[in-house]
Amino acid sequence: MKKSLLSLVAAAAISGAAGTQAQAEEIVVHKGDTLWGISKEYGVSVDSLKKWNKLSSDVIHPNDLLEVSPIKYVNVRKGDTLWKISKAYNVSVNDLKEWNKLSSDLIRPGMKLAVYTDMPVEMNVEKTSAAKPAATPVATPVSAPAAKTTTAAKPAAAANQITVEATAYTADCAGCSGITKTGVNLKANPDAKVIAVDPSVIPLGSKVHVEGYGYATAEDIGGAIKGNRIDVFIPTQSGATEWGRKQVKVTILD
């Protein structure tokens, strides 16, 4: 569920990849914004924001454009190869194939490739335990009443259990559409148990059990949700604030 200020902005062409152009996730700075506040909003560090935006101080100004994610999207042009793109961004061909679920080195003009220019640490954590993509993603809205976390039953330990950093989000905010990536209307279904995920780690549609939250479905994504990170949906701002940021275990059920 994207906030209204988030946009994909075209960046300059990168030398070394013939004709290739990249897009980055950027936000427009508004009056009163600070690097610290933006870092908390998108789950990144102030140092990372300064690095991605080549800032020498913490000072930002209204109408500035700030990159808030290490991921860029490369538009493949005629003559591009994975090798050329890997050299342009100083990453490996294997990384490009893994990030984009490619089974071979072949790419075609018109494709859009994800490139992590400053790969988060969590992308390297527990790769062996990440679930494989589901054959048919499930996009059925979850409308069962929220279970109390103090009494919710926990599943038996499973091989597909990972540890993630969990934050919370809500549809009860100005500019929030309330519609998840898979089409669940959270404003119409405030009791839905939904999480936002990085689909390369937890495929959309997966049924999961989140420690301290209960059984839920992966129905959403987020600009700052990369690697072993999730957002749990909580219907009220006060509840989302109370959740905070914590390390939890997630069991991927299917």
Q: State percent of the chain over pLDDT 90.
A: 17
pTM of model > 0.85: no
Angle (CA) 160-156-207 rounded to 5° is 55
Q: What are phi and psi of 124, to 5 degrees?
A: -95, -5
Mean pLDDT for the chain overall: 75
For residue 10, pLDDT over 70 is answered with no
Question: Which pLDDT score is estimated for 117?
Answer: 64
- Tens of pLDDT, residue by residue over 30-80, are 988 898 888 887 777 888 888 878 889 999 999 888 887 767 778 888 888
pLDDT at 139: 45
CATH 2.40.40.10 positions along the chain are 127-252
Confidence of residue 150 (pLDDT cuts 50, 70, 90): very low
Domain with CATH 3.10.350.10 in the chain: 6-119
Report the pLDDT value the prediction gives residue 196, as an integer from 0 to 100.
93
**Which residue did the predictor score with more confidence, 229 or 16?**
229
Top-tier CATH class for 127-252: mainly beta
Class of domain 6-119 (CATH, top level):
alpha beta
Contact 84/122 with Cβ under 8 angstroms? Answer: no
158 pLDDT above the threshold of 80: no
